[in-house]
Amino acid sequence: MRLRTARALAGAYLILFLIGTTWPGVLVASRIHPFVLGLPFSFFWYAAWIAFSLPVLYLLDRVERRYRDQRDGGQDR
Partner 1 sequence: MTRWVMVTIIIGIYLVANLVIGLMAGRRSSKSVTGFVAADRNFGLLIMYFVTGATIFSSFAFLGAPGWAYSRGAAAFYILAYGVLGMVPLYWMGPRIAALGRRLGHVTQAQLISGRFPSRTLSALIAAVSVAAFIPYITLQIEGAGIVINSVTDGHIPLWLGGLLAYGIVVVYVLVSGVSAVGWTNTFQGVFMVVIAWALGIYLPFHLYGGIGPMFERIAQARPELLVPPGLTSTGTHWGWGAFSSYILISVVGFLMWPHLFMKAYTAKDDDTLRRTVILFPTFQFFLIPILLIGFSGVLFPQAPADPDSILPFLILRTQLPSLVVGLFCAGALAASMSTGDALLHASASILVEDGIAPFTRMSDRARRRLMRWLVLVTGAVAYWLAQTNTSSLVQLLASAYGIIAQLAPAVFAALYWRRATTAGVLSGLVAGMLTTELFRLYPAFAPFGIHEGILGLLVQIPVLVAVSLLTRPQRQEHLDAFFPAGSAQTR
How far is 4 from 75, CA to CA, in rounded Å?
18
Among 51, 63, 70, 72, binds partner 1 (CB under 8 A): 51
By CB under 8 A, residue 42 contacts partner 1: yes
- Contacting partner 1 within 56-75 (CB under 8 A): 57-58, 60-61, 64-65, 74
Count Cα neighbours of 61 within 13 Å in the Cβ-side half-sphere: 6
Residue 8: CB minimum distance to partner 1, A: 13
User: Are 26 and 69 contacting, i.e. CB atoms less than 8 angstroms apart?
Assistant: no
Nearest approach in angstroms of CB 21 to partner 1 is 4
